Homo-oligomer: A and B are copies of this chain.
């Protein structure tokens, strides 16, 4: 009578969603300020004022028929020219409008890319910890997601495990740096080693292996850490970008796919992207916000709140006795759970009204994710509670 597979995808709640919904109910009982909800990655910094100004200017200056009208499927050429110029200026690249396909955020960008590339029997490889929707998006194209176990010492890539999992069936590698959930940025060394392996394997297998860079958190990098621009390191790179986090516009669904000329069969892949977009009901990325990003793409992101929150939470957790990598980017921490069973640990934390997401959901047991894109005052208030939680595991301050 209907598709059972779709029903299951639509009704089986993710752990994150379940925890979040529990939080909403609990907040109604104990009060909004007494629940420490670290579950969701929803930016809590408002869109910069230049976004509002850009919308006002567009509506006042431009032809309304055009502003809200259909655009060609890849997005307005003038917008893509602006994006190309901006990327070229920042990263010393040589892209032009024809390399860009504007999409509905990064979810749109990566899924369209997966579908454009995917052939029967294909495998896509990613590295734990990883964004759990990859599995759903890759499998919906008929391909298989292969997960390389994490390297918890620094959450860079575990290359020994990677080499065991790459094969003739590998169509593409998916990387996400700054990373959700680890908050780590892949170093230039990591990227160079990855590129070297991929080049070797391309030769060995006689076909390209694409490197898909899912980078919604590119602009959220702390302390001047550089996020390597992957097209400089590996030819067969495809970039999937989003303005959801950098401009705090996650609800507006705007991002892009960037296919460099250097990428194998780049023109054909661009064509396949257009076809995948068509069956994925893309039509065009929202037309007003195409114009907004054209006007704002050179403006800086405001990451000060996230940096402040990240430092505050990290120091508090370490002080309480947690083991955790210092935040480098994005707005997540991924500490070790205080017992090996991260589900049991998060259940325990819930008794303290600390809402944390088990690392198992990101392919990395024994850890938990804390999204610190929340009010700073809530983080401050939660730190003694984390301490109490640690104490309940017998960990004493300074011990």
Contacts and interface: CB of A to CB of B under 8 A. Distances in A.
Interface in A136-178: 136-137, 140
A273 to B, nearest CB: 7
A197 interface: no
* A3, A52, A279 — most chain B CB neighbours (10 Å): A3
A3 B248 contact: no
Contact of A1 (B2, B208, B274): B208
Interface string A216-250: 00000000000000000000000000000000111
Contact of A275 (B7, B43, B277): B7
Given A69-B250, A104-B281, A275 B6 contact: yes
A296 interface: no
A354 interface: no
B59 A45 contact: no
A115 interface: yes
Contacts of A2: 116-117, 119, 265, 268-269, 272
A252 interface: yes
Nearest to A108: B281
A8 B286 CA distance: 25
A10 B275 contact: yes
A269 B10 CA distance: 10
A279 B9 contact: yes
Contact of A279 (B6, B104, B284): B6
Copies of this chain per assembly? 2
Nearest to A5: B275
Contacts of A278: 9-10, 136
Given A2-B269, A3-B272, 20 more contacts: A1-B207, A2-B117, A2-B119, A2-B268, A3-B119, A5-B275, A7-B271, A7-B272, A7-B275, A46-B68, A51-B68, A65-B248, A68-B251, A69-B251, A104-B104, A104-B283, A140-B279, A252-B287, A280-B281, A281-B282
17 contacts: A3-B275, A4-B119, A11-B274, A46-B64, A46-B68, A52-B59, A55-B55, A56-B56, A65-B248, A68-B251, A69-B248, A69-B250, A70-B251, A104-B283, A107-B283, A112-B281, A251-B288
A343 to B, nearest CB: 23
Interface in A59-115: 59, 63-65, 67-71, 104-105, 107-108, 111-112, 115
Contact of A271 (B10, B65, B119, B271): B10
Contacts of A249: 68
A289 B289 CA distance: 11
A252 B112 contact: no
A201 interface: no
A275 B1 contact: no
